[in-house]
Structure 1
Amino acid sequence: MIQDSAAGEPESETTLLEVSGANAYGIRVGRGIRFGAGELLGPDVRRVLIVHQPTLAAAAAELRESLTDRYEVLLAEIPDAEAAKRVEVAAFCWQIMGQADFTRSDAVIGFGGGAATDLAGFVAATWLRGVKLVQIPTTVLGMVDAAIGGKTGINTAEGKNLVGAFYAPVGVLCDLDTLEALPRNDVLA
């Protein structure tokens, strides 16, 4: 266990898990840690796209605000659940990135459930053949499966996750505070 301290907030305990391999990265689990995304992005990033679902609009705006002193931050609101994992939605994200002149040194943050992190990972993997990716899953399934392992993808009419890539994030932030808004059955599932 390591101690984590956000600016102006009391220390909260976080757990760090390491994913080994060619593109090793850490998974941090704790409370309030989503606001530490800038530490994972580093100083070379200039622009960040936060991909989020409509139910997380206010939380995405807070996350954006926590990053605006260091980065130009844009928001991409995507549909909920599997409706997000369509090529048209990926193209919407690419359009935002293109219009903002995203380069290979810029980044994407996936903020939401498994569908949001799948899509954000795919967008990051395919923009200029890969930009930095930080995953901030907000559901239990997103935290234990979708945001971990570098699985990214979108659906086609022929099936689920038929188009995708394995693309490791630079880190995953599992902020337990984001689970508090979920219905009890979603947490228990």
Structure 2
Amino acid sequence: MDVTDRLARRLQGLRQAHGLSLDALAARSGVSRSNISLIERGQSSPTATVLDKLSAALGVTLAALFEEPPAATAPPSPLARRADQPLWTDPASGYRRRNLSPALPAPIQLVEVEFPPGQRVAYETGPRLAPVHQQVWVIAGCMQLTVGADTWLLQAGDCLAMQLDQPLLFHNPGDQPARYLVALAGGSLPSNPRGSA
């Protein structure tokens, strides 16, 4: 299954698990009903900003939108082979994110990101139904992160911790791609999507 189909199935499954209609999710997220419908049918390539709004409205992390829906017949695997890790590219900025974590429910999620030089992605993150904590560890290149009113320039080896409860801006001011690891904790666990609704 490609990442667009996975995202479509996962979004629809989470919305239904929360008992939300398309109209209700649109009202809660600020994303239009028609846009949500196109994403759920696999006919739209949403931006990272749109996905952040939807994940916040559903009480999950953005990374959770790319997880394989739980199978009814087999327990989730504790192993995620690289070939099976969903890789998604933001159509607006070209940044690429790979979900590293296995399907087995865990208190943290890991995401690897490659961020093109000169690009920016802004998230309108506000208070969430359940707290989400995030750490960004730069592996190569540099990244400028603005969390609320505070801005940090991170070089390779630097790590920044934050809570996702205020606007967030990712910017690569360099002339080379940046690579970084994101560790997320909190939000509602995929195995219990109603936990924070």
Q: TM-score, normalised by structure 2?
A: 0.26
Greater per-residue helix proportion: 1
Q: TM-score, normalised by structure 1?
A: 0.27
